[in-house]
C-alpha cells in the first residue's frame, strides 16, 4: 500500500481543509469546470501548463492530459462525492483485517502526507505487531505521481522488493 489513508481522514489537515473550504463550493467548482470545457482545447492545455509552472511542479504530457480529463463537471462531481464519502466513512483503523493479512501486505507511508494522521505508522505498528510498515525517507508527497518523476517511486519500490529499501 503506497501512501495509504487508512484511518481518521476527516481529522487530517487536508480532511479539515476539504470539509470546511472545498465542500461548500463543490457546485461552483463543477460549474467552473463546465465553463472550462467551453474553452478551445489548446487554451485549456496552456492554462494547465501555466498552473504547473506557477506552482513549480514537475509535469509531463501525460499529467497535463490527465488533469485536462479531470476538469470535467461529471468527473469532478464524482471525485467530490467519493472524497466526501471517504471523509465520512474512513474513521477507525481496521485492525482485524490488517492482522489477518499482515504477512501479505507492505505499507509505505509518506512523510509529507496531509491525508494521514501524524504518527499513523507508529500507531499501526503498535496496533498490529509485526506488520511490514515504514515511512518514506525520500520526501515524496501523497500525490507522488503528479509532483515527482514516476521513476523515483519505481526505484524506491524496486529497492524495497530487493530488500534494500526503507522497510
Q: What is the full DSSP assignment across the chain?
A: -BS---S-GGGSHHHHHIIIIIGGGHHHHHHHHHHHHHS-HHHHHHHHHHHHHHTT----HHHHHHHHHH-SHHHHHHHHHHHHHHHHH--S--HHHHHHHTTT-EEEE-SB-TTS-TTHHHHHHHHSTT-EEEE-SS--BTTHHHHS-HHHHHHHHHHHHTT-S--
Predicted confidence at residue 61, as pLDDT, reads 86
Predicted confidence at residue 167, as pLDDT, reads 52
Same domain for 22 and 82? yes
Predicted confidence at residue 34, as pLDDT, reads 95
Give the chain's residues under pLDDT 50. none
Predicted confidence at residue 138, as pLDDT, reads 74
Same domain for 74 and 128? no
Residue 2 lies in a domain: no
Last residue of a domain, one of 65, 89, 113: 89
The range of the structural domain enclosing residue 138 comes to 95-161
Residue 7 lies in a domain: no
Residue 4 lies in a domain: no
Predicted confidence at residue 166, as pLDDT, reads 56
Amino acid at each position: 500500500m503506497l501512501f495509504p489513508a487508512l484511518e481518521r481522514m476527516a481529522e487530517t489537515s487536508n480532511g479539515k481543509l476539504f470539509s470546511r473550504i472545498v465542500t461548500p463550493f463543490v457546485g461552483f467548482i463543477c460549474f467552473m469546470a463546465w465553463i472550462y470545457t467551453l474553452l478551445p482545447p489548446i487554451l485549456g492545455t496552456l492554462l494547465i501548463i501555466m498552473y504547473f509552472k506557477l506552482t513549480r511542479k514537475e509535469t509531463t504530457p501525460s499529467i497535463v492530459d490527465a488533469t485536462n480529463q479531470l476538469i470535467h463537471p461529471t468527473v469532478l462531481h464524482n471525485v467530490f462525492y467519493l472524497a466526501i464519502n471517504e471523509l465520512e466513512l474512513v474513521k477507525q483503523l481496521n485492525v482485524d483485517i490488517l492482522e489477518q493479512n499482515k504477512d501479505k501486505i507492505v505499507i509505505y507511508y509518506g512523510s509529507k502526507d496531509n491525508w494521514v494522521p501524524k504518527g499513523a505508522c507508529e500507531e499501526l505498528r503498535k496496533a498490529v505487531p509485526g506488520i511490514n510498515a515504514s515511512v518514506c525517507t525520500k520526501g515524496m508527497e501523497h500525490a507522488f505521481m503528479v509532483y515527482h518523476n514516476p521513476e523515483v517511486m519505481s526505484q524506491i519500490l524496486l529497492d524495497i522488493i530487493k530488500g534494500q529499501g526503507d522497510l
